[in-house]
Structure 1
Amino acid sequence: MSRGFYALTSGMLTQQRKIDISSNNVANLNTAGYKREQAVTSNFGSLLINKYKQDGISKEAEPLGNVSVIRTVEESNTIHSQGTLEETGRSLDFAINGAGFFAMENNGDIFYTRNGSFNIDAEGYLYLQGAGRVQGEYGEIYLGTDNFEFQNGSITVDGEETDRVAVYDFQDYNSLTKVREGLYTSGEYPELVEYPQISNQTIERSNVDVTKELTDIMSAQRSLQTAAQAFKIYDMLQDKAVTEIGKIN
């Protein structure tokens, strides 16, 4: 009976976690460069099933296998598929078409993102709010103005090329650690993409499919409600069992 309580409780917690993840995806539908996440479930603990056979006064156990008691959300997995590119007409908007990330430097820390909705800070450097200054191939990109020309990744101000927007990629995206929505760090040294495809006056929308997310939320809610009802039944049965046993003389 107690095993049923554990299984139902873990099921309710797992479905709630799935709802939270899908809800967060929907909330970031309009966040530039955001990548959707999905729940990854795994077994939490297991029971070893043995077949015992009597041999004289001793028992020998023959292992038959393991069975999971509880299934839980182990982590959330980020889906790094390309989002839709949308023209904005804003000169400080950039989007990567293909693999790779923009790099930001902030007090010695390097962050990576697909969000190219940049601005110019008080000192004239290109930056992403809350992340840091955008990195070019020669360091922090200084503009001093939003009046510039952009072609093939190269930024030209007053007829002089100032820098090229750097795009970095990773062999293993599992090395990326999420800092906040659409912003990552990594312990792995990235590779500079030699010929990145970057569009100006364009941003990359999130890759969230709102229809799928809402469907997943409704499915998880139904499973959560079913588990909650079953939990009540288990509780009633256990209460009845305790009461009936207490009547036995």
Structure 2
Amino acid sequence: MGNLIDAAAAILSNTEKRLETISNNIANTSTPGFKRIISGFATESGENRKIDIKPIQTLRNDSSQGVLKQTGSSLDIAISGIGYFLVRREDQYFLTRAGGFSRGPEGALRTAEGLVLQLAGGADAAVESDAVEILGDGTILDRGTPVGRIGVYAAPSDGVDRGGGLIRIASEPDLADEGAYEVRQAMLESSNVVLSDEMVALMANTRQAEGGAQLVRLYDQLIGQAITTFARAGR
């Protein structure tokens, strides 16, 4: 019977983690540039490979392109193709597909949360006016004068956007191949979460959780029957 309760516990634990991932996707349906999280499970064997097999959750982002929507703002930018913008908060760096920027008091291009956009060379992106033109390769023209090229970076193999459209990184990533993307001005990328798909997954995993709970109830019934049988046999 131990295998039965172990199976039920594994089902409930795995389903709970999937439901957390699905709920996070749903919560970020309207987050610009957010990439849907895909949850999977790998197995890790203990010393006794026949018995001690533990499912380990794996997370990755769905890299498919979100819909690009025109905004009319010259400082909104989107990436068509692969790659991420690099933004900085003090000494912490993040990758993002969310390209909604505005000009700060010192001219730096900042997100609504205050993170500063980075150029391909590593410096902060800054302009003197909102009258800028951004070319397809990321070059910024401020009143017709080039002031730098926006960095578009390859996605890290181990980074996951867990919400908010940001992937935290520990070291500077590699630049993406220039032919693999185009920077689009006055546009923003929508989240690639499809709400109807997430709702279907939510219902399927809810049913799976109910199945795990039924196994637990069955286990309790079997234990109760066994105790009753032993008690009667001892009379």
Which sits farther off after the overlay, 187-196 or 232-241? Answer: 187-196
Are residue 246 (structure 1) and residue 222 (structure 2) matched?
A: no
Give, in whole Å, the separation in 2 of the partners of 1:30 and 1:144: 31
SS of 1:103's partner is strand
Amino acid corresponding to residue 196 of structure 2 in structure 1: T
Are residue 6 (structure 1) and residue 6 (structure 2) matched?
A: yes
* 1:25-104 map, 5 Å: 25-43=25-43, 45=45, 66-67=49-50, 72-104=55-87
Give, in whole Å, the separation in 1 of the partners of 2:214 and 2:146: 67
Give, in whole Å, the separation in 2 of the partners of 1:77 and 1:137: 26
Q: Evaluate the alpha carbon distance shift between residue 191 and residue 106 of structure 1 in structure 2; reply closer, same or farther with a 3 A threshold.
A: same
Q: Evaluate the alpha carbon distance shift between residue 150 and residue 189 of structure 1 in structure 2; reply closer, same or farther with a 3 A threshold.
A: closer
After superposition, what is the alpha-carbon deviation per residue over 1:149-173, rounded to whole angstroms, capped at 9, x for unaligned?
Answer: 2223222222322222111115xx3
Cross-structure match for 1:117: 100
* 1:189-208 map, 5 Å: 189-193=172-176, 195=178, 196-208=181-193
Larger radius of gyration: 1
Number of residue equivalences? 230
Contact 2:84 2:96 in 1 (8 A): yes
Contact 1:124 1:144 in 2 (8 A): yes
SS of 2:118's partner is strand
* 1:82-231 map, 5 Å: 82-130=65-113, 132-138=115-121, 139-152=123-136, 153-170=138-155, 173-176=156-159, 178=161, 180-187=163-170, 189-193=172-176, 195=178, 196-231=181-216
User: Offset of 1:220 from its aligned partner?
Assistant: 0.5
SS of 2:60's partner is strand
RMSD of aligned residue pairs (Cα, Å): 2.4
User: Offset of 1:67 from its aligned partner?
Assistant: 4.2
Gaps of 5+ in 2: none
Amino acid corresponding to residue 149 of structure 2 in structure 1: R
Contact 1:6 1:70 in 2 (8 A): no
SS of 2:217's partner is helix
Q: Evaluate the alpha carbon distance shift between residue 68 and residue 31 of structure 1 in structure 2; reply closer, same or farther with a 3 A threshold.
A: farther
User: Offset of 1:98 from its aligned partner?
Assistant: 1.1
After superposition, what is the alpha-carbon deviation per residue over 1:87-128, rounded to whole angstroms, capped at 9, x for unaligned?
Answer: 121222100111111111222222111111112223221012
Q: Evaluate the alpha carbon distance shift between residue 185 and residue 238 of structure 1 in structure 2; reply closer, same or farther with a 3 A threshold.
A: same
SS of 1:20's partner is helix
- The share of aligned pairs that are identical, in percent, is 27
Using the size of structure 2 for normalisation, the TM-score is: 0.86
Give, in whole Å, the separation in 2 of the partners of 1:88 and 1:10: 46
Gaps of 5+ in 1: 49-65
Using the size of structure 1 for normalisation, the TM-score is: 0.82
Contact 1:33 1:113 in 2 (8 A): yes
Are residue 237 (structure 1) and residue 218 (structure 2) matched?
A: no
Amino acid corresponding to residue 141 of structure 1 in structure 2: A
User: Offset of 1:218 from its aligned partner?
Assistant: 0.7
Give, in whole Å, the separation in 1 of the partners of 2:83 and 2:47: 44
Contact 2:65 2:192 in 1 (8 A): yes
Q: Evaluate the alpha carbon distance shift between residue 71 and residue 217 of structure 1 in structure 2; reply closer, same or farther with a 3 A threshold.
A: farther
User: Offset of 1:194 from its aligned partner?
Assistant: 5.9
